[in-house]
Amino acid sequence: MSKDKPKGMIKDANKLQDATNNAAWSDWHWQFNNRLSGKNDLSARLGIGKKLAEEIKRVAEVFPMAITPYYFSLISKNDPQCPVRLQCVPNFAELNFSPADMEDPLNEDKYSPLPGLIHRYPDRVLLTVTLECASYCRHCSRKRKVGDQAIKITMDGICKGIEYIRDHPQIRDVLLSGGDPLVLGDEILDKIIGEIRAISHVEVIRIGTRVPVVMPQRITMSLVNVLKKYHPLWINTHFNHPVEFTPESEQALAKLADAGIPLGNQTVLLKAINDSVATMKKLLHLLVKNRVRPYYLYHCDYSRGVSHFRTSIREGLEIQQGLIGFTSGFALPLYVMDIPGGGGKVPLGPEYIKKYTDSEIVLRNFEGVDYIIKD
């Protein structure tokens, strides 16, 4: 992997290029404020025709688009199938709704006792603290909500969520999600996490964030100093492809790990992006090299506008089978599906128990050899 400056720096975008030479590039506020959106003309920057650029704009009117200059700089301009491009640049296929698509596939609304709080599992809740993200992923399962200016998350709403947690002693694990919680400022995060940490029955606080991937500049020492006050605090990142590892993102992960924050990673299995054993293995190895434990490999869900990313479950199982036994056990994520209709997450396998009777069990190992064990 190249350790050079990010490739694909954009010729005509003088502003962006100049910024790489000064402090602005490493300032997350600059990254955030200079995001490319549906308003920008991407034709020259991506080396595409006007017609395609217009299509992008039309899609961005339906599902929001924002790309940090940093993440944009990882796009390889000459490759229409560039994995970074596919994840952040709108594609007309997003508007082809498939019959399997659902508005709210996880039935999150049903399990929301309050707006922004989802209580689906007995001992843990998900609290939405913002609907904004640093960059919007084209494969996002919360696509219908993220970036929606019409839905407002207020501090008052968040406080109501925290009160709910306080009133429910069975909640021992609180997952801050969004949107991306780390687009919030240090002070707000300090306040929110501080309030949750003050609840005696909350054992673990978790943050789900894609910031280390799309805006690693956000991981400042000042942020890390806020977070490490509230241990045990876990962070789950969202790396999907080996090219997302750069000196910047690796440094961000190192800062978090050095602060004693256990790091996990959730990957979405994405067609033409990471749906091969070779790519997935490279990704998993980069994660563990950076002290990030692969957590879940999600089967791409059934939200509207993401069906072009979905592989079959069989393909997912085959990839898992190509990994289990062939690399370190702690580099293996669990392949899961969030069952459409709100069933929750279930592991998908693959299956290594080939036969199970009252007297014996047949196990097939990673090399395909069967072993009979008397039970």
Spatial distance between the Cα atoms of 323 and 188, rounded to a whole number of angstroms: 41
Q: Which is nearer to ligand SF4, 13 or 153 (CB)?
A: 153
Minimum distance between the CB of residue 266 and ligand PLP, rounded to whole angstroms? 8
Nearer to ligand PLP, 35 or 120 (CB): 120
Q: Are 129 and 158 in contact (CB under 8 A)?
A: yes
Q: Nearest approach, Cβ of 206 to ligand PLP (angstroms)?
A: 8
DSSP string, 119-183: EEETTEEEEE--S--SS--TT-TTTTTTT-TTS---HHHHHHHHHHHHH-TT--EEEEESS-GGG
Give whichever of 120 and 199 is closer to ligand SF4, judged by the CB atom: 120
Select the binding partner of residue 118 from ligand PLP, ligand SF4, none (C-beta < 5 to 8 A, by kind).
ligand PLP
Q: If contact means CB under 5 to 8 A according to the sort of partner, which of ligand PLP, ligand SF4, none does residue 136 touch? A: ligand SF4
| Dist. CA 265–CA 236, nearest whole Å | 5
3-class state of residue 366 by DSSP: coil
Whether 224 contacts 193, CB under 8 Å:
no
Q: Binding residue for ligand PLP (CB under 6 A) from 77, 168, 172, 345?
A: 345
Interface residue with ligand PLP among 175, 202, 273, 331 (CB under 6 A) is: 175
Decide which of ligand SF4, ligand PLP, none touches 144; Cβ closer than 5 to 8 Å per partner kind.
none
Q: Which of 273, 369, 274, 363 is nearest to 320 (CA)?
A: 274
Which residue of 74, 118, 192, 337 would you call a contact of ligand PLP, by CB under 6 A?
118
Segment near ligand PLP (CB under 6 A), from 18-26, 116-124, 135-143, 227-235?
A: 116-124
Enumerate the β-bridge partners of residue 208: 236
Nearest distance in Å: CB 142, ligand SF4: 5
What is the binding site for ligand SF4 (CB under 6 A)? 133, 136-137, 140, 142, 146, 178-180, 210
According to CB under 6 A, which one of 66, 82, 126, 283 is a site residue for ligand PLP? 126
Instruction: State in angstroms the smallest separation of the CB of 207 from ligand SF4.
Output: 12
- Cα separation, 243 vs 246, in Å, equals 7
Residue choice 121, 160, 327, 342 for contact with ligand PLP (CB under 6 A) = 121
Active site residues: 120-121, 124, 133, 137, 140, 142, 301, 338, 345
Cα distance between residue 251 and residue 235, in whole Å? 15
Considering only CA atoms, which of 248, 232, 249 is closest in space to residue 240? 249
Q: Tell me if 299 contacts ligand PLP by CB under 6 A.
A: no
- Residue pair 372/360 in contact by the 8 Å Cβ criterion: yes
Residue (122 or 329) nearer to ligand PLP, CB: 122
* Cα 259–chain centre separation: 21
Q: Cβ distance 153 to 129 under 8 Å?
A: yes
The residues that touch ligand PLP, with contacts defined as CB under 6 A, are 118, 120-121, 124, 126, 175, 345
